[in-house]
Amino acid sequence: MNSNQNLPVHVGVIMDGNGRWAKKRSLPRTAGHREGAKVVEKLAQTCLNAGVRYLTLFCFSSQNWDRPKEEVDTLFSMLNEYLHKESKPFRNKGINFSFLGRIDLLPDETQQMIETLKKENLPKEQEKMHLILALSYGGREEIADAAKRLARQIQKGEITPDQIDEKIFSSALYLPDIPDPDLIIRTSGEKRISNFLLWQSAYAEFVFLDTLWPDCSEKDFYAALDEFAARHRRFGKV
């Protein structure tokens, strides 16, 4: 079990392997996504039990729009259904929601759901965990959007180019109040970041699990937390 002092405050998860899970069973890829959705609750509960404060899930990348339309449509209808059914149980556990990415590109129904969920967030003092869903998210896109925002501020005379430093740049990102991830987990054996939290992951620890996302269990998540706890972070110091 994880000792509290080496617990990550913020965990990011690249939930990968749904398609391969389905393929192994000769099922359509969407069956893998459906099975994968069930694992989200297990992960959230594990993080909640362990005392993780922020959990970011990579649900849909900017590049995932290039998948077949049928898969994309099914993913969003599943997401709508999931949020509709599962947001209350999450809320009852003290979980608040934020959303990361180009939300304006999402289907109308999803955007409406997101607005409602954000309004229903509990006051900070009642929040046990913050769940951040990355949707239509790309790290490069986020950095480009931040640059655009800062350029506009310069144009309006609100800041000067010389004032731009890491702190100001961070404040122009999508969710400036969320701390950087301490631990990023990727499942399915792939060892790449695939455009997830590029700016924020500068000093994150990475744990790569071979398990396909739909097969992941509490045991896998605790193993990742334990691996994190055993790491020695130096942040460039000695």
Q: Out of 54, 58, 97, 99, which residue is the one contacting ligand IPE (CB under 6 A)? A: 58
- Contact between 59 and ligand IPE (CB under 6 A)? yes
Question: Could you confirm whether 49 is annotated as catalytic?
Answer: no
**Choice among 64, 182, 195, 220 that is catalytic:** 64
Complex with ligand IPE: residue 67 or 231, whichever CB lies closer: 67
Instruction: Please list every residue from 165 through 204 that binds ligand IPE, using CB under 6 A.
Output: 188, 190, 192, 194
Q: Does 215 bind ligand IPE (CB under 6 A)?
A: no
Strand partners for 207: 185
The whole-angstrom separation of Cα 115 and Cα 224 is 32
How does strand 129-137 pair with strand 205-208?
unpaired
The amino acid sitting at 224 is A
Annotated catalytic, 64? Answer: yes
In whole angstroms, what is the distance from residue 238 CA to residue 233 CA? 10
The rounded distance, in Å, linking the Cα atoms of 112 and 104 is 11
Residue among 64, 98, 136, 200 that touches ligand IPE (CB under 6 A): 64
The residues in 5-24 that bind Mg ion, with binding defined as CB under 5 A, are 16
Q: Where are the beta strands (DSSP E) in 138-182?
A: none
Encoded amino acid at 51, one letter: G
Least distance (Å) from ligand IPE to the CB of residue 221? 16
82 belongs to the binding site for ligand IPE (CB under 6 A): no
CB 66 within 8 A of CB 100: no
Cβ atoms of 94 and 124 closer than 8 Å = no
With CB under 6 A as the contact rule, which of the stretches 56-64, 120-128, 143-151, 164-172 interacts with ligand IPE?
56-64
Q: Which stretch binds ligand IPE (CB under 6 A): 15-23, 43-51, 118-126, 139-147?
A: 15-23
